[in-house]
Amino acid sequence: MSGNTLPRPSRPSIAPPSGPLPSLPVAKTRNSTAGPASRVPSSSFLPSAAASNRAVSSSPAYRPSPKHNTSPSVPTLANVSPAGSLPVGKSLRKTVSIGAFPQPPRHMARSNPASPLSTSSTPSGETVNQRMSSAPKVSLHSRDSSLKKPRTSNIGGARGLLPKSPLAPTSFLNGSVDSVAVDTSHLSLPSPPQSRNSSPQGSYATSATTFEDIDDESRGRSETKNSSSKDGKGNVIVSVRVRPDVGAKDSKQEMEWGVDNKRALVSYRGREGGDYVYDNVFDTQDNNARVYDAAAKRLVRRVMEGYHGTVFAYGMTGTGKTFSMQGTATNPGVIPLAITDIFSYIRETPYREFLLRVSYLEIYNEKINDLLAGPVMSANGQPGQQEEIKLREDSKRGVYATPLKEEIVQSPTQLLRVIARGDNARRVAGTQFNAHSSRSHAVVQIVVESRERAPGPVGDTNHNKRSAVVPGGVRVSTLSLIDLAGSEKAADEKVRRTEGAHINKSLLTLGTVIGRLASDKEKAEKNKGKGDTHLPYRDSKLTRLLQPALSGNSLVSILCTIQIGASGSTAAASNHTGETLNTLKFASRAKNNIVSHAKKADESMGTGGDAGSRALLDRYRLEIQELKKQLEGGKAKETKEEYGDELQRDREEERARELEDRQRHHEQILEMQLARTALKERIEHLNRLILSSKSLGVNNSPSFSSLSFHRGSVFSNTGDMRPSSIRSCASHATLEVPRTSHSHHSSAPHGLDGSEEDDSVGENGDGSASQGAQIHALQADLADRNRYITTLEKRLLQARRSSHSRVSMSIRDKLGSSEDGGLLATIAERDAEISSLRAQLEDKERMIAALTSARKKNENAHDVGSDGSPGSRRTSMYRRSNSEGSSIRASGVSLVAKGPTSPTSPKPFLPPPSNNTGKNIEEMTRMLDEMITGRVDRARRSSLMPVSEGR
């Protein structure tokens, strides 16, 4: 079995012995197993987190009746919930809620409250002297038989157990100087006549020690030998507790011992005998509550007030160290009673706020283990190695272990549960002397942080205390509760021997350090200013950890446990006696040598002061302030952000609107482009139509048109007037047909002389028919173009309206109202143009009408002149035509006749040569075409203008 896998047998409930006690080794109900051992909480007062269920099932839960006043507010198994609810490894970052603390008895004074454990009762509810209930009957018998003094019992409680006599040793730490002494009995075993009052080494009697502010009266036993209270600085309590040993009642060894708890005296009448006086001596009938009240209660209170305090149990294996520190369900030990007291104190101190954190470590084989860290798993899921914990030292914290898990606790139950969890992890094994022996030194550290808060308004019970914290400093103090492993003789097993060697070595170092403290003091006196004398604190982890306490920074209470008498064999008896004497000597040295100058811890401000930066209350306060700032900042930011959001929303909406507008514009542009394309196509189509029309009779293309025109030119031969080209009705401009000079036909150089035209007309001999055809074609062309113009107008109007309505809407905001005027002006301009176009159209229609009537007249003249020369008819026609032409000109259309200038001359009567006529018509057509195209383009551009501007 390796040293690291010690068996941890279960530890069933240890009820106070009710029958004859067995001889040593005490038949503890704990089982020793070969595997890793753990203390089973069912036996301990401290409930195990992990095994609380087992505890409940294996032993009756401890449910104190209301009359059970030993520890009325101590949580029990019944009210300690399984630790499963507390996630391992997670610290609660909350301050202590005062309301959650157990209520102490009402009669307790705040400054020096009586212990809530001052009375005791059985679980059945009967209030009795707990000493009676826990002490073995045989002891009582022994006591009675030896002392023959009646025991006067103060049913009131443990305080009644304190001596009444002024000489009676009163624990000044308890402060119960007004205690009523009721029990004057003490165990006084006959001693040999030669026994001395002091040991050969001198007196081991200890003196009472005092805290700085303890009144003189409480230094009850300071008159005893080697009083260290003379210097007024001793803050060390040394107590000795005798474990009952039922099996040794009649042994010779027992007869050699005398235990006087009244005088706090242990006397030995054997070899090296003497009287050993301490601050407290607890006999076999004293229960844990009494031990706590006398040895630790006051210290715990002082810790709450700001002192550092250390309580440790020292003694041979199996003498009751764990029993005293942890206790049982029915007999809670120092640790649970201290926890109860801590929370009672907090509840009684409304003008301060507290924060508690707890750590739990063990020193096993000179290695420090964190008992709260839980099992460590390696990457492959196998149990891994805990990070090595080292001891460090700094000026503010002294010596401390790191990294060590600390848990913040808010209630006694929670604190007990944390400690129970640590207990389960502690190394325990069965030994020759103790079936459930602690194989390590266990250190519970409770760090108490406190800070003053402002008193609430008078009568205001609901005053919010949390908001009334005085901006003062935080005080940090530490309570260390240490259960040492017991010194022991060599064990049979190798592992036990190794453990024992480490245990003994560290205890030896402890003894050495304490032994040297006296000489250290003397040397220090002698060598003032010459530097410190060396103390071997570093020789063991235990002494290193205890260094602050041993060197005077802490209040100290040492509980030494002994067992007098031996169970059975003489060897065992002599062994026990030797060990017991060693323990007594250790206790005396500790009492004489340890000097405590413990002072109240300074209140730290922020990171300064005694507590330094480790004060969580400070850190939390700063954190709270920081969070509040952030909250307020967040609120302001939220407001800003809200405003910003609104702006952002507006901007986004605007952007969306713009995007929408753009899309709409884009659509409009597309529409317009489509419209344009459609218009272009239409124009092309119409142009094609026009070309087709030309080819049918207007143009003089060499093919059909020229032929037809030639045919048409026959009318010149018939003297018919040559019609001016009236091509296209889409022209907006004044139709002024320019005089064209023989552009197409070099074969017609005469221009207006019309010789060739005459020829051509003459050739065809069908000038009127040709003219009619031309006019007809022109009319058709004109009608076509009229339709086209109308369509264009409509389209343009439509496009302009839609463009105007859409674009003006979208760009109104952007361009401002001044643009409206521009648009309106543009629209008015377009309207004017359209009107002009209409007017021109009307002119053209009139021109066509004039041409038509001229043709008719011409035809009539031709008919009239059938008996005359056609030329005369032609002439008259021409003249009329000329006059018609004048009228047309007057009406705005400039039709310049290209015919003969002299009506008398035959030539003038001749119609213009057919070539010229075709040319003129063609030119006119082309001009009209150009004009129409130009107009259409202009109109189109102007209608599109606002869109492009809008873009």
Ligand X SMILES: Nc1ncnc2c1ncn2[C@@H]1O[C@H](COP(=O)(O)OP(=O)(O)OP(=O)(O)O)[C@@H](O)[C@H]1O
- Pair 180, 154: CB distance under 8 Å: yes
321 is in an annotated binding site: yes
Residue with Cβ nearer ligand X (585 or 874): 585
In the complex with ligand X, the residue whose CB is nearer, 501 or 827, is 501
CA distance linking residue 220 with residue 706, whole number of Å: 154
Range 608-611 contact pairs with CB under 8 angstroms and sequence separation of 24 or more: 609/473, 609/474, 610/396, 610/475, 610/476, 611/396, 611/449, 611/473, 611/474, 611/475, 611/476
State the minimum distance, in angstroms, from the CB of residue 94 to ligand X: 34
Kindly state the DSSP code that residue 628 receives in the 8-state scheme. Answer: H
> How far is 205 from 592, CA to CA, in rounded Å?
9
Residue 206, CB-side half-sphere exposure with 13 Å CA sphere: 34
Residue among 42 and 434 whose Cβ is closer to ligand X: 434
Instruction: Report d(CA 436, CA 363) in Å as an integer.
Output: 17
Please report where in the chains the tokens 């507790």 appear, as a residue.
241
Residue 430 marked as a ligand binder: no
Please give the structure tokens belonging to residue 158.
Answer: 């443990």
- Least distance to ligand X, CB of residue 509, Å: 17
**Closest distance to ligand X from the beta carbon of 356 (Å):** 26
In the bound state with ligand X, the residue whose beta carbon lies nearer, of 168 and 313, is 313
Q: Indicate whether 320 belongs to the interface with ligand X (CB under 6 A).
A: yes
**Contact between 265 and ligand X (CB under 6 A)?**
no
Stretch that binds ligand X, among 70-78, 272-280, 317-325, 402-410 (CB under 6 A): 317-325
> Angle 698-700-701 (CA atoms, 0-180°, nearest 5)?
120
Closest approach, Cβ 421 to ligand X, in A, equals: 19
**639 annotated as a binding-site residue:** no
Instruction: Tell me what percent of the chain is helix, strand and coil, each rounded to the nearest 5.
Output: 45, 10, 40
Q: Which is nearer to ligand X, 315 or 918 (CB)?
A: 315
Where does this chain touch ligand X (CB under 6 A) — which range of 113-121, 315-323, 822-830, 848-856?
Answer: 315-323
> Given candidates 303, 373, 485, 893, which one binds ligand X under the rule CB under 6 A?
485
Distance between CA 639 and CA 645 in Å, rounded? 9
Coil/strand/helix, residue 442:
strand
Burial of 626 (0-12, 13-18, 19+ CB in 10 A): exposed
| The residue count for the chain | 951
Of 157, 247, 309, 315, the one binding ligand X by CB under 6 A: 315
Residue of 10, 13, 26, 342 that binds ligand X (CB under 6 A): 26
Distance CA 841, CA 602 (A): 112
Q: Which helix (H) or strand (E) holds 776?
A: helix 767-815
Q: Does 38 bind ligand X (CB under 6 A)?
A: no
The pair of structure tokens assigned to 523 is 């040397």
The single residue among 321, 451, 800, 907 that binds ligand X, judged by CB under 6 A, is 321
Considering beta carbons, is residue 129 or 810 the nearer one to ligand X? 129
Q: Which positions from 558 through 587 interact with ligand X, judged by CB under 6 A?
A: 561
Q: Is 315 annotated as a binding residue?
A: yes
CB of 285 to ligand X, least distance (A): 9
How many Å apart are CA 154 and CA 182, to the nearest integer? 6
42 or 718: CB nearest ligand X: 42
Minimum Å gap between C-beta 564 and ligand X is: 12
Residue 171, both tokens? 């624990």
Residues 202 and 563: beta-carbon distance below 8 Å: no
| Token couple for 249 | 């009642």
Tally Cβ neighbours within 10 Å of residue 755: 15
Instruction: List, in sequence order, the alpha helices (H) in 330-411.
Output: 334-348
Report d(CA 631, CA 190) in Å as an integer: 76
CB of 563 to ligand X, least distance (A): 8
Q: Do 510 and 540 contact (CB within 8 A), yes or no?
A: yes
Map tokens 């967040």 to a residue: 634
- Per CB under 6 A, the segment of 96-104, 436-444, 758-766, 873-881 that binds ligand X is 436-444
Contact at 8 Å (CB) between 37 and 453? no
Q: 434, 583, 717, 858: which one contacts ligand X (CB under 6 A)?
A: 434
- Tell whether residue 317 is among the known ligand binding residues: yes
Tell me how far, at minimum, the Cβ of 438 lies from ligand X, in Å: 3
42 lines the binding site for ligand X (CB under 6 A): no
Task: Count interface residues toward ligand X (CB under 6 A).
Answer: 21
Is 523 known as a binding-site position? no
Taking the C-alpha atoms of residue 304 and residue 113, their distance in angstroms, rounded to an integer, is 13
DSSP letters spanning 544-556: HHHHHIIIIISEE
| Residue from 170, 414, 424, 437 in contact with ligand X (CB under 6 A) | 437
The least CB distance from residue 454 to ligand X, in Å, is 46
Cβ 752 vs Cβ 920: under 8 Å = no
Is residue 224 marked as binding? no
Helix-helix angle 334-348:288-295, to 10 degrees = 60
CB atoms within 10 A of CB 864: 12
Q: Which of 59, 170, 319, 414 binds ligand X (CB under 6 A)?
A: 319
- Paired with 715 in beta bridges are none
Stretch that binds ligand X, among 318-326, 705-713, 727-735, 941-949 (CB under 6 A): 318-326
Distance CA 752, CA 901 (A): 9
Between 25 and 946, name the residue whose CB sits nearer to ligand X: 25
Instruction: State CA 468 to chain mean position distance.
Output: 27
- Pick the binder of ligand X from 73, 317, 477, 593 (CB under 6 A): 317
Region binding ligand X by CB under 6 A among candidate stretches 434-442, 539-547, 630-638, 868-876: 434-442
- Residue 23 interacting with ligand X (CB under 6 A): no
CB of 26: closest distance to ligand X in angstroms?
Answer: 4
Contact 171, 293 (CB under 8 A): yes
- In the complex with ligand X, the residue whose CB is nearer, 561 or 915, is 561
Q: Are 946 and 808 in contact (CB under 8 A)?
A: yes
Is residue 447 part of the contact set for ligand X (CB under 6 A)?
no
Residues 6+ apart with CB under 8 A from 935: 730, 731, 732, 833, 837
Instruction: Decide: is 322 part of the binding site for ligand X (CB under 6 A).
Output: yes
In the complex, what is the shortest distance from the CB of residue 334 to ligand X, in angstroms, rounded to a whole number?
A: 12
Cα separation, 862 vs 717, whole angstroms:
12
Nearer to ligand X, 491 or 848 (CB): 491
User: Residue 21 CB, nearest distance to ligand X (Å)?
Assistant: 8
Site membership for ligand X, residue 14 (CB under 6 A): yes
CB of 481 to ligand X, least distance (A): 14
Candidates 273-281, 313-321, 336-344, 493-501; binding stretch for ligand X (CB under 6 A) = 313-321
Residue with smaller CB distance to ligand X, 485 or 931: 485
Q: What angle do CA 403, 405, 408 make, to 5 degrees?
A: 140
216, 222, 226, 228 alpha-carbon torsion, rounded to 10°: -40
The CB-of-28 to ligand X minimum distance in angstroms stands at: 3
- Nearer to ligand X by Cβ, of 290 and 405: the residue is 290
- Span 228-257, contacts to ligand X by CB under 6 A: 243-244
State which residue, 256 or 286, has the beta carbon closest to ligand X: 286
318 marked ligand binding residue: yes
Q: How far is the CB of 480 from ligand X (least distance, A)?
A: 17
Query: Which CB atom, from 52 or from 561, has the smaller least distance to ligand X?
Result: 561
Contact between 28 and ligand X by CB under 6 A: the answer reads yes
Task: Please report whether residue 220 would count as binding ligand X according to CB under 6 A.
Answer: no
Position 438 contacts ligand X (CB under 6 A): yes
Which residues are near ligand X by CB under 6 A?
Answer: 14, 17, 26, 28, 243-244, 315, 317-323, 434, 436-438, 485-486, 561
Residue ranges of the binding site? 315-322
Annotated binding residues for ATP, written as ranges, equal 315-322
